[in-house]
Amino acid sequence: QVQLVESGGGLVQAGGSLRLSCADSGNPLSWAWYRQAPGKQREWVASINRAGVSTYASSVKGRFTISRDNTINTLNLQMGSLKPEDTAVYYCYAQDFRLRAYWGQGTQVTVSS
């Protein structure tokens, strides 16, 4: 069983930076961040696996960085050059060795113009 607890998020002006964190337990196999804007479907933002290989959605590539601190079992998303269209609820995601999916509670990110 994997448990995910998110922190971070908040209100920031366009062009600013914000960092999201997600503490996990249960030894996941891979991690990701998703987001859901009002009236839109949840979309994938970035992923990272145990080998440290990361991938990004084209909309955030070059602006966001996903990382995993294995010493404290925490997933991070460093977001820079934020735009109003990045406004969404951001969700931490993890998958275990049985390929079961787990979700964090979500954290609001609001970027003002």
Tell me: the pLDDT tens digits for 37-96? 999 999 999 999 999 999 999 999 999 999 999 899 999 999 999 999 999 999 999 999
The secondary structure of residue 97, as a DSSP letter, is T
Whole-number pLDDT of residue 81? 97
Is 47 in a helix, a strand, or coil? strand
The secondary element (H helix, E strand) that includes residue 33 is strand 30-36
The answer for residues whose C-beta is within 8 angstroms of residue 63's C-beta and 6 or more apart is 79, 80, 81, 82
The secondary structure of residue 86, as a DSSP letter, is G
Whole-number pLDDT of residue 57? 98
Strand partners, 64: 79
Q: Which of 55, 43, 31, 21 is nearest to 87 (CA)?
A: 43
